[in-house]
Amino acid sequence: MKEDKGPTSGCDHITASSTPATGEGGRTGDWRVLYPVISRDGCVVAKTGKPMCYMCWMFCPEGVISKTVPPEINLEYCKGCGICAEECPSKAITMVQESGE
């Protein structure tokens, strides 16, 4: 993390005005206690190789699951809520304990 010292002379704002960027709140994957693992044998997209279902994508509060074949989870930002595991109709997602530091 860069030190935020020194003057703000590079900033021409006279009013607080933000511009968008991923990870505004940092690497939110660090909040996680459990992380999701998609089973290739259980997930219908992985099994059939066809885009379908995507309940995990739809219910993810973070938008970190891709609508790809197979779906992938961006663990850098996944907060580990477990909603995907709970909502997966084929129970193909399991929540696994993060290994301690």
Partner 1 sequence: MSIEKKGDCMTCAEKVLIMTGNHAAAYAVKLCDVQVISAYPITPQSPVVEKLMEFVESGEMKAEYVAVESEHSAITVCISASVVGARVFTASCANGLALMHEMLHWAAGTRLPIVMAIPNRAVAAPWNILNDQQDSISQRDTGWMQIYCRNNQEILDTVIQAYRIAETVMAPVMVCYDGYVLSHTLMPVNMPDEKLVREYLPPYRPHTVLDPKSPRNINPVTLADPRMNAEGVLCHGYMELRSLLQKSLLGSVSVVAEAGREFGRIFGREYGIYDSYRTEDADLLMVSIGSLASEAMDTVDNMRAAGMKIGVMHLRLYRPFPAEVIAKAVRETGCRGVAVLEKNVSYGYEGAVCSDLKAALFDHGVDVFAHSYILGLGGRNVSVSDIEEALNRSYGYLEKKGPDRIKGQEWINCRV
Partner 2 sequence: MKKLTAVTMPDKEYMLPGNRSCVGCGLSIAYRHGLKALGDSVILTVPASCLTVLQGMYPVSSMLVPCLNTAFETTAASAAGIRAGLDALGKRDVTVVGWAGDGGTSDIGIQALSGAAERNTDFIYICYDNEGYMNTGTQRSGSTPYGAVTSTCPSGKLEHKKDMPMIMAAHNIPYVATVSPSYPIDLYEKFTTAKHMKGTRYLHLLIPCPPGWGYDPRYTVKIGRMAVLCGMFDLYEIINGKLSFYGPSLRIATGEPREPVEAYIRAQNRYRDVSMEVVEMLQEWVDKKWESYKKMGYCETD
Residue ranges in contact with partner 1 by CB under 8 A: 2, 4, 6-8, 10-11, 13-21
For partner 2, the binding residues in 2-61 under the rule CB under 8 A are 11, 13, 16-28, 31, 51-55, 57-61
Cβ-based nearer residue to partner 1, 11 or 52: 11
Structure tokens of 46? 């992985």
Cα separation, 29 vs 36, in Å, equals: 11
Cα separation, 33 vs 50, in Å, equals: 31
DSSP track, 39-58: -TTT-HHHHH-S----HHHH
Footprint on this chain of partner 2 (rule: CB under 8 A): 11, 13, 16-28, 31, 51-55, 57-64, 67, 74, 76-77, 79-83, 85-87, 95
